[in-house]
Chain A
Amino acid sequence: MIYLNNAATSYPKPPIVIEKLKRALDLPRLNKTRLFDESKETDLIEEAREIIGKFFNIDNNFELIFTSGATEALNYIINGIELKNGNVIATATEHNSTLRPLKRLETKNNLEIRIAECDKNGFISFENILKNFDKNTKAVFINQMSNVTGIVQDLKELYKLREKNNFYLIVDGSQSAGNIEINISDTNIDFFVFTGHKSLFGLEGTGGFIKKRKIKLEPLKVGGTGLKSYLLTQPEEFPHFYESGTQNILGILSMRYGIEYIKSQGIVNIYSVKKKYIEKIKKEFINIDKIKIYNSDSDSCILAFNIKMIEPDEIAYILDNSFDIIIRAGLHCAPLIHKYIGCPERGCVRVSPSNFNNESDIDIFINSIKSICNNL
């Protein structure tokens, strides 16, 4: 099987991540966050929080909260800040995990959702954000790296806008985290969302968000914290205020181990390998009349394309069942971007390799697409 769907979830996980997780699973817990063979001072979750925070270069002005993924993180933020009686700006590249929670607030909170358009590669110009921005703009949501085209947005002008104006700046790093260097302390981001199971090489059902410490959010859920059990209200102490219930310890550890792996290989190296594979595919596809590439101008680790006269889901079906190659086809949970990049109604095929693929995988994929083009 050749797996080329890493923008959905990364596979395989690095062997060292699996090995360390197996060990963590085998050993009993002496308390909720310490393994049997760790010292009494160890707190696995807080260690992971620190390591992951350092990876995103956060300083004391920020804090990191664990969630079950980017969807929960975005719901947390959207429902936890005051978004009413005004407008928010989201972009045409946003995922449904941003669009749907916002849509839900539209009527309830008298909130206008303005969509900043993108170009044919999925790039959002600052001008397109600015033309939607006014004194009633409560928040700007931007997907740092599109899950359809892989394009990375330039956020510098947005940071300057944030410096001069009072609104929330929320950046969705679901695709960018683990692909590009992210230095939160150098930005004016209010919230940065990440997921664990894509380029951070963690398990599904993991992720979190980073927020400015001074922003107080309403917790999405309240309950048991293991702290101040006599209180019937949620304890105010961080992180308990934001993280109720038993933590997904293995999931949180998986993100930590994934990040340690990324640091050992070098984030730039990993990203370069993926982009190299996409360039190779693009070079071959560009000469085939039947193939339409939607992000040909972007320097990306994802390729969005179609084969003329064949539905994208049929291409995916044939690749999976006849060739044993896994990609993804359709709208990719990002319904708005397709009209801007020139996709038909039924979306496109998306290929997203990993650094664990090799040249032979890519050659086989290229040849399978050529075979489909020649035969159908």
Chain B
Amino acid sequence: MNIIKMQIIDSCFKENDTYEIFINEPISYKFIQYLGEDKNFQYFPNFPKPFFKITDKNFIIKGVEGNNNLRVIFLENIEISSNLLIQKIMNY
């Protein structure tokens, strides 16, 4: 999996640590499970396009199956957290 673009999301609030990560393939259930392994993983299949949320101490990832983008809120040191996540995505 490759990352095409990572862009900061404008917010009403003080934090500036929410990003949209665009990837080169549609998100599959397998990819969601991979991202969610060893983390708090919630998957909602009953929506027209299933929504998922993955939480750990470094970030919160939200997304929708079939889309090409993930919304990520970095919670800890943004440089370390983002590198961890980028590596995880690119190792898929």
- List the interface of chain A (C-beta within 8 A of B): 313-314, 317-318, 321-324, 330-331, 346-347, 371-372, 374-376
Contacts and interface: CB of A to CB of B under 8 A. Distances in A.
Interface in B6-29: 11-13
A322 B47 contact: yes
A372 B67 CA distance: 19
Nearest to A331: B12
Interface stretch (B32-40, B48-56, B74-82, B83-91): B48-56
Given A318-B51, A324-B48, 16 more contacts: A314-B62, A317-B71, A321-B49, A321-B63, A321-B64, A322-B47, A322-B48, A322-B50, A322-B51, A346-B13, A347-B12, A371-B46, A371-B47, A374-B46, A375-B46, A375-B47
B51 A321 contact: yes
B13 A323 contact: no
Nearest to A345: B13
Chain B: number of interface residues, binned into ranges:
10 to 19
A327 to B, nearest CB: 15
Interface of B: 11-13, 44, 46-51, 62-64, 67, 71
A360 to B, nearest CB: 15
Nearest to A329: B12
Given A371-B46, A375-B47, A321 B67 contact: yes
Contacts, number: 38
Contacts of A322: 44, 47-51, 64
Contacts of B12: 330-331, 346-347
Contacts of B51: 318, 321-322
19 contacts: A314-B62, A317-B62, A317-B71, A321-B63, A322-B49, A322-B50, A323-B47, A323-B48, A330-B13, A331-B12, A331-B13, A346-B12, A346-B13, A371-B46, A371-B47, A374-B46, A375-B46, A375-B47, A376-B44
Contacts of B46: 371, 374-375
A330 B12 CA distance: 6
B8 to A, nearest CB: 15
Nearest to A376: B44
A323 B64 CA distance: 10
A330 B49 CA distance: 23
Contacts of B44: 322, 375-376
A314 B64 CA distance: 12
Nearest to B47: A322
Contacts of A323: 47-49
Contacts of A321: 49, 51, 63-64, 67
Nearest to B53: A314
Contacts of A324: 48
Contacts of B11: 313, 330
Contacts of A314: 62
